[in-house]
Structure 1
Amino acid sequence: MQVTMIVNGDEVTREIEGRLLLVHFLRDVLALTGTHWGCDTSNCGTCVVWLDGEPVKSCTVLAAMAGGHEVRTVEGLAVDGKLDPVQEGFIQCHGLQCGFCTPGMLMTARALLDRNPDPSEGEIREAISGQICRCTGYATIVRSIRWAAVNAASEVTS
């Protein structure tokens, strides 16, 4: 079957099998390997992308279901070579170790900050509760997201 969607602002059309998962479409067909594929059970959250502006686990969505919709991956966070504040926060506050969960964390964090520009630690922890990180203990991830919230707010007021 043929599927057409907008991925990171660009329209793409490809022939696919109807059973192809969105995560595999992004990684294997479009070579957007920033989206990771982890658990095969939708538990880990490494594969989070946005579908029409909402975070989804791309291992639970068929590529055909994304047809006619807009998909944003971690590759779409930086704009004109400028890192998103969430990406910068992960650098500044050491929000990653092995980096495997990072793409999903970044996409989830960006969605949170778009809805709530000044989340509390508890709200951040709730937002990322669908993501598994086996390295950091989440403390540096939470600090990274808070850093992004504070610094994005200071960019707006500057």
Structure 2
Amino acid sequence: MNKDCAIVEDLLPLYNEGLLQDETTEWVEAHLENCESCRELALLSKEPIEKEKITSTIDTENMIKKINLKLSIYQIIFVAISFIFAIKTSLLHESFGFILTYPILGLITFLFYRRFLIVTVIAFLPNFIWSIIDIATDAPITFDAIIGSIFLGVIHLSFALVGSVIGLLVLKIRERGPAS
């Protein structure tokens, strides 16, 4: 193989794509007319290469199932902690700490799930159910008791929704990026 053959080998991909200058193309074509081995190589380089199917050793379906399982476990733990946190800081324990903790609970829950419905469920239901249970241990459940339990749940929910709105604003500010 002489020097010209080595140069033609290097230029063949560009020649096949039509990316060479006219003068270089003429030189390559003249060489291909005279050199049998380069002509064969040029014919081979024009044929498309068969693509082999790449098989992955990783089972993606199994991997996605494991990821979803871990996320589900984290969500269950988060909801359980939120429920306990909601009950411990509620008005039922004669604690006004909920004024600070429920906005934080709403903020964290909204940033985690990005849904107002889940914030509503986590903030309202534990207090409503806990209040009904607390009333049922002392006296029969009446319509007034149910209204009172709903009112207690709404009070806690309103503070959690304040935190959710703060979370929504944080997300909107992060989406918009730095001020220009």
TM-score range, shorter chain: under 0.3
TM-score of the pair, normalised by structure 2: 0.24
Larger Rg: 2
TM-score of the pair, normalised by structure 1: 0.26
Q: Which has the higher helix share?
A: 2
Between the two structures, name the one with larger relative contact order (CA 8 Å, sep ≥ 6). 1
